[in-house]
């Protein structure tokens, strides 16, 4: 290597050998050297009388080699000889390769995650189908045996009471008991309605809301309005089920306990969340009323909160005496909606990557 020269070596050099020599006419054998390869050596290296130095496995980059000589009198040369050379990176040493590897790793991890989620979803759907079948079987058995039998017994008692004199105290007692029996039968029908609610699982959630409202309000004079905002999307089975129970509980409370005359619900399909809002103009809520209802075994509001927590949602129940009650359920879109089957894991990965900020790599420094 000549002083002042500049060279470009091949990629991935295993060994770089540099030769140098200092001229001394009087005592050439007493010349001593020192050298430094910038960005590789920490400082000047004593070379002694050797005139060859080797470096192995140098990283890609630009280098300057400096060498200085000392004569027999111990005087160092005033200026160091300098030569420059560069080593180009191989493809596997470029940032393009590192970025490609990172992207491939992200795609691979996302694909594994998507396959795992698909497997979990299929398992969950199978469990939900089994659960639905069992609940429907129980509902049919209860309706065909216990409920029908009790209803027949109540009808016979009604006929018996009708044949008794109106002034008979026994008839009044019996009629009071039959009124209570009718209430029990109505509550039983509502329980069966809950067990059979998953027959509507194939409907979209808005249709489920309309179906529940029609069934629960069939014997009520209250007014119910319903509005859907956004494009309806299929929900996760568990979200569909729990949100349906929450709406049913809110509507039942408004009908049976608050004496509401007007009720309204708004269902919003937003990309970032599913939101269900319900409001009535009934008696509202008061700490005393809630305490009494808890003592009587009514834990509907607590159950609504537990169901919302089960699907990772938030629920707000507000109201004041005489001002009605408002219930609002919010579930994140990621937890609420089923994935679009038209999007493959790769498409979802690309879509997710396009929403990221530009990746920032560390600045490249000379080697």
pLDDT confidence of residue 189: 66
Closest by Cα among 79, 39, 44 to 63: 39
Tens digit of pLDDT for each residue in 242-257? Answer: 999 899 989 988 888 7
Lowest-confidence region among 205-214, 261-270, 283-292, 341-350: 341-350
Q: Answer yes or no: is 271 within a domain.
A: yes
Q: How far from each other are the two terminal CA atoms of the chain, in whole angstroms?
A: 20
Say yes or no: 335 and 207 in one domain. Answer: yes
From 33, 58, 89, the end of a domain falls on 89
From 37, 64, 89, the end of a domain falls on 89
Please report which residue ranges of the chain form alpha helices under DSSP H.
Answer: 95-141, 148-162, 169-195, 205-216, 237-256, 287-295, 300-310, 333-336, 345-353
For residues 123 and 14, what is the distance between their CA atoms, to the nearest angstrom? 55
Tens digit of pLDDT for each residue in 113-160? Answer: 988 888 887 787 777 677 767 766 776 677 667 767 777 787 888 778
Residue 316: beta bridge partners?
A: 328
* 146: DSSP letter: I
Q: Answer yes or no: is 321 within a domain.
A: yes
pLDDT confidence of residue 237: 83
Looking at the predicted structure, is the pLDDT value of residue 104 above 90?
yes
| Residue pair 201/240 in contact by the 8 Å Cβ criterion | yes
Look up the domain containing 78 and give its range. 6-89
pLDDT confidence of residue 2: 55
Confidence label for 347 from pLDDT (cuts 50, 70 and 90): low
Tens digit of pLDDT for each residue in 266-324? Answer: 999 999 999 999 999 988 876 555 555 544 444 578 889 999 998 999 999 988 888 88
Q: Answer yes or no: is 310 within a domain.
A: yes
- Phi/psi region, residue 48 (left: phi>0; alpha: psi -120 to 50; beta: rest), is left
Lowest-confidence region among 35-39, 52-56, 132-136, 237-241: 132-136
Looking at the predicted structure, is the pLDDT value of residue 174 above 50?
yes
Say yes or no: 85 and 214 in one domain. Answer: no
Q: What percent of the chain has pLDDT over 70?
A: 80
For β-strands 61-70 and 52-56, DSSP reports them as unpaired
| Total domains in the fold of the chain | 2
48-55: average pLDDT: 90
51-80: average pLDDT: 88
pLDDT confidence of residue 102: 95
Q: Answer yes or no: is 293 within a domain.
A: yes
pLDDT confidence of residue 190: 64
From 38, 62, 89, the end of a domain falls on 89
Q: Answer yes or no: is 140 within a domain.
A: no
- Dmax of the chain from CA atoms? 149
Return the CATH number at 229: 3.30.565.10
pLDDT confidence of residue 264: 95
pLDDT confidence of residue 203: 60
Name the residue with higher pLDDT: 359 or 70: 70
40-48: average pLDDT: 89
92-114: average pLDDT: 92
pLDDT confidence of residue 55: 93
In angstroms, the Cα distances linking 249 to 209, 274, 284 are 12, 18, 15
Looking at the predicted structure, is the pLDDT value of residue 366 above 80?
no
pLDDT confidence of residue 290: 54
pLDDT confidence of residue 346: 53
Mean pLDDT, the chain, integer: 80
Q: Answer yes or no: is 247 within a domain.
A: yes
Return the CATH number at 68: 2.60.40.10
pLDDT confidence of residue 54: 92
32-44: average pLDDT: 90
Cα torsion 298, 220, 276, 339: sign: positive
Say yes or no: 206 and 84 in one domain. Answer: no
* 338: DSSP letter: P
Using alpha carbons only, give the angle 348, 273, 302 rounded to the nearest 5 degrees. Answer: 130
Q: Answer yes or no: is 333 within a domain.
A: yes
Q: Answer yes or no: is 246 within a domain.
A: yes
């Amino acid at each position: 290597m000549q002083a002042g020269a500049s060279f470009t070596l091949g990629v991935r050099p295993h060994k770089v050998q540099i030769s140098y020599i200092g001229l001394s006419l009087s005592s050439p054998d007493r010349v001593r050297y020192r050298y430094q390869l910038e960005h590789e050596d920490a400082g000047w290296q004593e070379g002694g009388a050797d005139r060859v130095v080797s470096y192995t496995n140098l990283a890609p980059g630009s280098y300057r080699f400096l060498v200085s000589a000392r004569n027999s009198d111990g005087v160092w040369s005033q200026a160091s000889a300098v030569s420059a050379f560069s080593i180009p990176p191989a493809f596997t040493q470029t940032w393009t390769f590192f970025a490609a590897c990172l992207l491939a790793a992200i795609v691979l991890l996302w694909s594994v995650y998507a396959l795992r989620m698909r497997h979990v979803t299929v398992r969950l759907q199978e469990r939900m189908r089994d659960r639905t079948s069992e609940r429907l079987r129980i509902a049919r058995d209860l309706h065909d045996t216990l409920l029908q039998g009790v209803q027949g017994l109540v009808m016979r008692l009604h006929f018996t009471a009708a044949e008794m004199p109106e002034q008979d105290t026994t008839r009044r007692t019996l009629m009071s008991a039959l009124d209570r029996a009718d209430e029990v039968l109505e509550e039983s029908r509502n329980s069966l309605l809950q067990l059979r609610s998953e027959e509507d699982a194939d409907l979209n959630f808005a249709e489920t809301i309309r179906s529940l409202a029609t069934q629960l309000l069939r014997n009520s004079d209250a007014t119910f309005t319903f509005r859907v905002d956004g494009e309806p999307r299929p929900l996760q089975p568990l979200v569909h089920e729990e949100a349906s129970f929450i709406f049913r509980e809110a509507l039942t409370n408004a009908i049976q306990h608050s004496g509401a005359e007007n009720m309204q619900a708004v269902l919003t399909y937003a990309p970032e969340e599913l939101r269900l809002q319900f409001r009535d103009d009934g008696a509202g809520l008061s700490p005393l009323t809630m305490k009494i209802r808890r003592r009587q075994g009514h834990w509907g509001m607590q159950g609504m909160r537990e169901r919302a927590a089960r699907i990772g949602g938030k629920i707000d129940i507000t109201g004041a005496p005489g001002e009605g009650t408002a219930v609002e359920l919010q579930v994140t879109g990621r937890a609420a909606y089923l994935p679009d089957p038209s999007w493959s894991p790769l498409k979802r990965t690309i879509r997710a990557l396009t929403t990221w900020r530009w990746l920032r790599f560390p600045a490249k420094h000379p080697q």
